[in-house]
């Protein structure tokens, strides 16, 4: 730690000397190592223009140092000036054709340009000259993944792992590709073999946990994360994912412990505050949930889901006016989210803003026509107003979108009964009974009168 502090001070002094000479227009000379420190100082601060100026001086004083051409190419790449970057790397390759890093960096830039075939050529050339191949195999895997060639991507991620068992990124990307290919179940045995070779690889246990989680084997995923934590007790991502698995099992107290440990290890982040809030919402401690959702939005005011969940908790507390405010904030950030529109529609109706509620349901139905609750709740507004024609119109639109949804037919039958159109009502009732006989109990919610219920029961029994 003391050595790092000393080195940082030396680098600062070096940069000060360089800037002083430049400012005073004095003649100066620095070694290649010194220039590298100066340039990396600027790059670390994302001050790429200053890095380029320093590199120009370095290349004037050391014209045959290929490392400065490589650094300059990387700097141009950071500025998204990819053509200049490639040109410099070609010059560097002429000076030092056997430098695998030149071809690797060139390939990575070509990937950023979207030139994946050319990138693969560069990566294969890098393989010819490199003794340590894990990083190059990983880059080849990513290039194949970018063109959706998942078979080859998997092949090269596995080769990368054969070279370096601790390549965390390769483990993660391999799991992603196997998921896309629908081979997650098969991948479990691969990861177990991997763990047999290196039982103390926290990365392998962690990624096995992710795979189990995707397979909805939550108990197994928790076990894998626990092994990961036993190896590295400060592996915060394992605690976080374990918290999510506990939530899926409705083990809220354990989830809360896992998330709070993540908070201790990582410090505050919007995601961890949101997750803690979600647990409190699950156990109906809405004030605490709201507190953590608000902490999330203080760290990230664009966290639309946290604004939305705050509104949901306020709704549970019958604070509908406040809920409307938070749903609107969520919608400003994600205007095409049908869940937000549906929640707003319900809240607006609760506070008596019927027109706003209808408008919100209209938006929600366009964004998510496959959600039967939208059509049911929207039509119910007109039903409660006694406007059966419009109620029937909305629910019929819903049936057009969801012809196999029995509950829509039952509701349409209710509206026709209220309109006195019994023949039409019976047709819709019959269709609902055909699709889902047990669903007919929905009718009794609309007709609390015992005599009416008896009459409906007789008709339903006849159908049965």
Q: Is 329 helix (H, G, I), strand (E, B) or coil?
A: helix
Q: How far apart are CA 71 and CA 342, in angstroms?
A: 52
How is residue 131 annotated by DSSP? S
Q: What is the pLDDT of residue 438?
A: 87
**pLDDT tens digit sequence for 298-308:** 999 999 999 99
**pLDDT tens digit sequence for 109-143:** 998 888 888 999 999 999 888 888 889 999 999 99
Q: How far apart are CA 177 and CA 141, in angstroms?
A: 10
Q: Do domains 183-264 and 268-362 have the same CATH topology?
A: yes
Tokens of 345: 């529609």
Q: Please state which CATH number belongs to domain 183-264.
A: 1.25.40.10
Q: Which of 50-59, 379-388, 402-411 has the lowest mean pLDDT?
A: 50-59
Q: Does residue 8 register a pLDDT over 70?
A: no
Mean pLDDT of all residues in 174-183: 87
Q: What is the pLDDT of residue 9?
A: 57
Q: What's the angle, vertex CA 297, arms to CA 296 and CA 298, rounded to 5?
A: 90
DSSP 278-299: HHHHHTT-HHHHHHHHHHHHHH
Q: Does residue 10 register a pLDDT over 70?
A: no
The residues near 70 (Cβ < 8 Å, ≥ 6 apart) are: 88, 89, 92, 99, 101, 102, 105
The residues near 257 (Cβ < 8 Å, ≥ 6 apart) are: 243
Each domain of the chain, given as residue ranges in start order, spans: 183-264, 268-362, 369-464
Banded model confidence at residue 7, pLDDT cuts 50, 70, 90: low
Roughly what angle, to the nearest 10 degrees, separates helices 116-129 and 100-113?
Answer: 170
Banded model confidence at residue 155, pLDDT cuts 50, 70, 90: very high
Name which CATH class applies to 268-362. mainly alpha
**pLDDT tens digit sequence for 37-56:** 888 888 888 888 888 888 88
Question: According to DSSP H, which parts of 181-217 are helical?
Answer: 184-197, 202-214
Who wins on pLDDT, 55 or 241?
Answer: 241
**pLDDT tens digit sequence for 345-381:** 999 999 999 999 999 999 999 999 999 999 999 999 9
Long-range contacts of 407-413 (CB under 8 A, 24+ apart): 407/372, 407/376, 407/432, 407/436, 407/439, 407/442, 408/372, 408/375, 408/376, 409/435, 410/439, 410/440, 410/442, 410/443, 411/376, 411/379, 411/380, 411/442, 413/443
Q: Does residue 61 register a pLDDT over 90?
A: no
Q: Does residue 233 register a pLDDT over 90?
A: yes
Q: What is the pLDDT of residue 142?
A: 93
Mean pLDDT of all residues in 217-234: 96
Q: What is the percent of the chain with per-residue pLDDT over 70, rounded to a whole number?
A: 95
Q: pTM for this structure?
A: 0.74
Tell me, which fold does domain 369-464 have in CATH?
1.25.40
Mean pLDDT of all residues in 394-407: 96
Q: How far apart are CA 421 and CA 406, in angstroms?
A: 19
């Amino acid at each position: 730690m003391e050595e790092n502090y000393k080195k940082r001070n030396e680098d600062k002094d070096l940069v000060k000397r360089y800037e002083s000479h430049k400012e005073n227009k004095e003649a100066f000379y620095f070694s290649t190592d010194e220039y590298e420190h100066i340039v990396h100082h600027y790059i670390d601060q994302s001050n790429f223009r200053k890095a380029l100026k320093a590199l120009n001086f370095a290349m004037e004083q050391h014209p045959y140092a290929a490392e400065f051409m490589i650094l300059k190419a990387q700097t141009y790449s950071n500025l998204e000036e990819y053509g200049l970057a490639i040109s410099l790397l070609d010059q560097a390759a002429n000076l030092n054709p056997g430098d695998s890093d030149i071809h690797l960096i060139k390939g990575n830039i070509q990937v950023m340009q979207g030139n994946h075939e050319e990138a693969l050529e560069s990566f294969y050339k890098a393989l010819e000259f490199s003794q340590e191949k894990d990083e190059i195999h990983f880059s080849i895997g990513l290039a194949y993944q970018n063109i959706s060639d998942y078979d080859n991507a998997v092949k090269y991620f596995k080769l990368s792992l054969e070279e370096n068992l601790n390549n965390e990124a390769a483990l993660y990307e391999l799991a992603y590709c196997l998921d896309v290919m629908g081979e997650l179940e098969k991948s479990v045995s691969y990861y177990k073999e991997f763990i047999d070779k290196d039982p103390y690889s926290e990365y392998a246990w962690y990624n096995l946990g992710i795979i189990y989680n995707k397979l909805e084997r939550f108990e197994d995923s928790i076990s894998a994360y626990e092994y990961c934590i036993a190896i590295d007790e400060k592996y915060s991502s394992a605690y976080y994912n374990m918290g999510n698995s506990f939530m899926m099992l409705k083990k809220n107290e354990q989830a809360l412990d896992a998330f709070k440990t993540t908070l201790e290890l990582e410090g505050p982040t919007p995601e961890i505050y949101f997750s803690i809030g979600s647990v409190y919402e699950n156990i109906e401690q809405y004030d605490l949930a709201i507190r953590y959702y608000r902490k999330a939005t203080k760290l990230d005011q664009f966290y639309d889901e946290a604004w939305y969940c705050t509104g949901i908790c306020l709704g549970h507390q019958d604070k509908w006016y406040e809920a409307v405010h938070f749903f609107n904030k969520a919608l400003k950030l994600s205007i095409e989210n049908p869940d937000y529109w549906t929640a707003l529609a319900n809240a607006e109706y609760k506070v008596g803003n019927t027109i706003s509620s209808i408008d919100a349901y209209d938006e929600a139905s366009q964004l998510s026509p496959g959600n039967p609750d939208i059509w049911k709740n929207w039509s119910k507004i007109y039903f409660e107003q006694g406007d059966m024609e419009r109620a029937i119109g909305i629910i019929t639109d819903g049936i057009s979108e969801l012809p196999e949804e029995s509950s829509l037919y039952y509701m349409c039958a209710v509206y026709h009964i209220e309109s006195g159109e019994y023949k039409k009502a019976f047709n819709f009732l019959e269709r609902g009974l055909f699709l889902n006989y047990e669903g007919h109990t929905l009718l009794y919610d609309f007709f609390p009168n015992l005599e009416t219920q008896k009459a409906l029961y007789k008709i339903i029994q006849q159908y049965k």
